[in-house]
A and B are shown apart, each in its own frame.
Chain A
Amino acid sequence: MAKVEITVNGKATSANVEDRTLLVDYLRETRNLTGTHVGCDTSQCGACVVHVDGKAVKSCTMLAAQASGSDVKTIEGVAGNGALHPMQEAFHQNHGLQCGFCTPGMIMAGIDMVNRLGPKLDEKIIRAELEGNICRCTGYHNIVKSIAAGAKEMGKGMKKAAQ
Chain B
Amino acid sequence: MGIEGIGARVLRKEDKRFITGAGRYTDDHKIAGMHFAAFVRSPHAYAKIKKINIKEASKMSGVAGIFNGKELTGDGIGNIICGWMVHSKDGSPMNMGAWSALATEYVRYVGDAVAVVIAESLEEAQAAAEAVEVDYKVLKAVVTAEQAMGLKAPQLHPEAKNNVIFDWEIGEEDATDAAFAKAANVVELDIRNNRLVPNPMEPRSALVQYDAAEDHFTLHTTSQNPHVARLVLSAFYQVAPENKLRVIAPDVGGGFGAKIYIYPEEIVCLWAAKRAGVAAVKWTADRSESFLTDAHGRDHFSKAKMAFDKNNKITGFKIETLANLGAYMSLFSSSVPTYLYATLLSGQYNIPNIHCNVKTVYTNTVPVDAYRGAGRPEATYLVERMMTTAARQLGVDPAELRRNNFIQEFPHQTPVIMAYDAGDFGASLDAAMAEIKYSDFEKRRKKSAKNGMLRGIGMSCYIEACGIAPSAAVGSLGAGVGLWESAEVRVNPVGTVEVLTGSHSHGQGHETTFAQLVTERFGLPKDNVQIVHGDTDKVQFGMGTYGSRSGAVGMSAIEKALDKVEAKAKKIAAHMLEAAEGDIEIKDGEVMVKGTDKKLGWHEVCLGAYTGHNLPEGMEPGLKEGAFYDPTNFTFPAGCYICEVEVDPNTGVTTIEKFVAADDFGKIINPMIVEGQVHGGLAQGIGQAMMENAVYDDDGQLLSASYMDYTMPRADNLPNFHVSTTETLCPGNPLGIKGCGEAGAIGSPPAVINAITDAIGHNNLTMPASPQNVWAAINDGGMAEAAE
Asked if A42 is an interface residue, CB under 8 A from chain B, the answer is yes
- Knowing A123-B720, A139-B721 are in contact, say whether A47-B201 is a contact too (CB < 8 A): yes
Contacts of A13-53 to chain B: CB distance below 8 A: 18, 28, 32-42, 44-45, 47
Among B17-25, B58-66, B529-537, B728-736, the stretch in contact with A = B17-25
Known: A136-B200, A136-B254. A44 touches B708 (CB 8 A): yes
Q: Does B16 count as interface, using CB distance less than 8 angstroms?
A: yes
Q: If the complex has contacts A37-B25, A101-B202, A137-B507, are A130 and B714 also in contact, measured as CB distance less than 8 A?
A: yes
Among A38, A99, A135, the most chain B Cβ lie within 10 Å of the Cβ of A99
A68 at the interface (CB under 8 A from B): no
CA of A137 to CA of B252, assembled, Å: 12
Q: A79-B20, A138-B676, A139-B683 are in contact. Are A99 and B715 (CB under 8 A)?
A: no
Complex contact B286–A100 (CB within 8 A)? no
Q: Is the CB of A35 within 8 A of B21?
A: yes
**Nearest residue, chain A, Cβ from B709:** A42
Q: Within 8 Å CB of A92, what residues of B?
A: 11-12, 15-16, 19
Q: Which residues of A contact B17 (CB under 8 A)?
A: 100
Residues of A within 8 A of B20 (CB): 35, 75-76, 78-79, 84, 88
A35 touches B708 (CB 8 A): no
Considering only residues 2-39 of chain B, those with a C-beta below 8 Å from chain A are 11-12, 14-25, 27-28, 30
Render B319-342 as a binary contact track against A, CB cut-off 8 A, 1 for contact. 000000000000000000000000
User: Smallest Cβ distance from A120 to chain B, in angstroms?
Assistant: 18
In the complex, which residues 79-97 of chain A have their Cβ closer than 8 Å to any Cβ of chain B? Answer: 79, 84, 88, 91-93, 95, 97
Q: Are B715 and A45 in contact (CB under 8 A)?
A: no
Q: How far is the CA of A91 from the CA of B23 in the complex (A)?
A: 15
Q: Does B630 contact A (CB under 8 A)?
A: no
Q: Is the Cβ of A101 less than 8 Å from the Cβ of B25?
A: yes
Residue of B nearest to A33 (CB): B21
Complex: A104 Cα to B369 Cα, angstroms: 30
Shortest distance in angstroms between A56's beta carbon and chain B's nearest beta carbon?
A: 15
B12 near A95: Cβ-Cβ < 8 Å: yes
- Mark each residue of chain A from 47 to 80: 1 if its CB lies under 8 Å from any CB of chain B, else 0: 1000000000000000000000000001110110
Residues on the B chain within 8 Å of A127, using CB? 715-716, 718
Interface centre among A28, A35, A79, A100 (most CB of B within 10 A): A100
Supposing A42-B707, A45-B707 touch, asked if A142 and B714 sit within 8 A by C-beta, the answer is no
For residue A107, give the distance in angstroms from its CB to the closest CB of chain B: 6
A128 at interface, CB cutoff 8 A: yes
Q: Which of A39, A75, A126 contacts B715 (CB 8 A)?
A: A126
Q: Mark each residue of chain A from 125 to 147: 1 if its CB lies under 8 Å from any CB of chain B, else 0.
A: 01110110111111111111000
Contact flag A139-B506 (CB < 8 Å), given A34-B21, A95-B11: no
Main SS of the interface on chain A? loop
Q: Which residues of A contact B203 (CB under 8 A)?
A: 38-39
Contact between A140 and B715, CB atoms less than 8 A apart: yes
Chain A residue at smallest Cβ distance from B200: A136
State whether the Cβ of B773 lies closer than 8 Å to any Cβ in chain A: no
**Which of A38, A91, A130 counts the most B-chain CB atoms under 10 A from its CB?**
A38
With A103-B18, A107-B19, A131-B715 already in contact, the answer to whether A39 and B201 are too (CB < 8 A) is: yes
Name A18's contact: one of B123, B673, B680 (CB within 8 Å).
B123
Report B692-718 CB contacts with A as 1/0, cut-off 8 Å. 000000000000001110001111101
CA distance A59 to B292 in the complex (A): 24
Interface pair A138/B708, CB less than 8 Å apart: no
Q: Which residue of B lies closest to A104 (CB)?
A: B21
A160 CB to nearest chain B CB (Å): 23
CA distance A100 to B447 in the complex (A): 42
Contact check, A99 vs B707: say whether CB atoms are below 8 A apart. Answer: no
A140 to B501, CA, bound (A): 29
A137 CA to B712 CA, complexed, in Å: 12
Partner of B706, one of A41, A47, A140: A41
Bound: A45/B21 CA distance, A:
17
Nearest CB of chain A from residue B64's CB, rounded to whole Å: 19
How near does chain A come to B556, taking the closest CB pair, in angstroms? 23
What does the 1/0 interface line of B198-210 toward A look like (CB < 8 Å)? Answer: 0111110000000
Interface size class of A (residues with CB under 8 A): 35 or more
A41-B286, A136-B712, A140-B718 known; A91-B19 Cβ under 8 A:
yes
Interface contact B679-A40, CB-CB below 8 Å: no
In the complex, which of the residues B19, B25, B714 contacts A134, with contact meaning CB atoms closer than 8 Å? B714
Interface bracket on B? 35 or more
Q: Does chain A have a CB within 8 A of B251?
A: yes
B270 at interface, CB cutoff 8 A: no
For residue B470, CB closer than 8 A to chain A, the reply is no
- B481 interface hit (Cβ, 8 Å): no
* Contact in complex: B201, A136 (CB < 8 Å): yes
Do A135 and B201 touch (CB < 8 A)?
yes
- Cα A97 to Cα B25 in complex, Å, equals 15
Given B11, B22, B509, B682, which contacts A98 in the complex, CB threshold below 8 Å?
B509
- Name the B residues within 8 Å of A79 (CB-CB): 20
A42 contacts B21, C-beta separation under 8 Å: no
Which chain A residue shows the least CB distance to B685? A139
List, in ascending order, chain B residues with CB within 8 A of A135's CB. 201, 715
Q: Is B508 in contact with chain A by the CB < 8 A criterion?
A: yes
- Which residues 659-707 in B have Cβ within 8 Å of A in the complex? 672-673, 675-676, 679-684, 706-707
CB of B287 closer than 8 Å to a CB of A: yes
Distance in Å: Cβ of B613 to nearest Cβ of chain A: 42
User: Which B residues lie within 8 Å of A142 (CB)?
Assistant: 676, 679
Q: Which of B11, B15, B708 has the most CB of A within 10 A?
A: B15
A102 interface hit (Cβ, 8 Å): yes
Contact B676 A98 (CB under 8 A): yes
B288 at the interface (CB under 8 A from A): yes
Query: Chain A nearest CB: distance from B444 CB in Å?
Result: 20
> Which residues of A sit under 8 angstroms from B27, Cβ to Cβ?
34, 38
B673 and A144 form a contact (CB under 8 A) = no
Chain A residues near B708 (CB, 8 Å)? 42, 44
Q: Are B680 and A139 in contact (CB under 8 A)?
A: yes
Shortest distance in angstroms between A35's beta carbon and chain B's nearest beta carbon? 2
Chain A residue at minimum C-beta to C-beta distance from B252: A99
Q: Are A140 and B683 in contact (CB under 8 A)?
A: yes
Q: Are B712 and A131 in contact (CB under 8 A)?
A: no
A residues less than 8 Å from B675 (CB atoms)? 95
* Chain B min CB distance to A113 (Å): 12
Whether the pair B21, A128 counts as a contact (CB closer than 8 A) is no
The answer to whether A95 and B673 touch (CB under 8 A), given A45-B707, A139-B721, is yes
| Closest chain A CB from B18 CB (angstroms) | 3
The complex places the Cα of A99 from the Cα of B684 at a distance, in Å, of: 15
- B507 in complex: contacting residue of A33, A34, A42, A99, CB < 8 Å: A99
Q: Which residues of B contact A28 (CB under 8 A)?
A: 28
* Distance of B204 from chain A, by nearest CB (Å): 12
Q: Tell me whether A41 and B683 are in contact (CB under 8 A).
A: no
Of listed A18, A37, A139, residue having the most chain B CB within 10 A = A139
Q: In the bound complex, do residue A93 and residue B11 qualify as a contact, i.e. CB atoms below 8 Å apart?
A: yes
Which residues of the partner chain A approach B24 to less than 8 Å between Cβ atoms? 34
B16, B252, B707: which has the most chain A beta carbons within 10 Å?
B707
B652: CB under 8 A from chain A? no
A-B contact pairs, 11 of them (CB 8 A): A28-B28, A37-B201, A38-B203, A42-B707, A97-B18, A99-B202, A99-B507, A136-B201, A136-B684, A139-B682, A139-B718
11 more CB-based (< 8 A) A-B contacts, given A39-B202, A44-B708, A101-B201: A40-B287, A92-B11, A103-B18, A104-B18, A127-B716, A130-B716, A134-B712, A134-B714, A136-B254, A137-B680, A139-B684
Query: What are the nearest 9 A-B pairs in CB distance?
Result: A35-B21, A100-B18, A101-B253, A99-B507, A139-B683, A44-B707, A75-B21, A139-B679, A98-B507
A residues with a Cβ closer than 8 A to B are 18, 28, 32-42, 44-45, 47, 74-76, 78-79, 84, 88, 91-93, 95, 97-104, 107, 123, 126-128, 130-131, 133-144
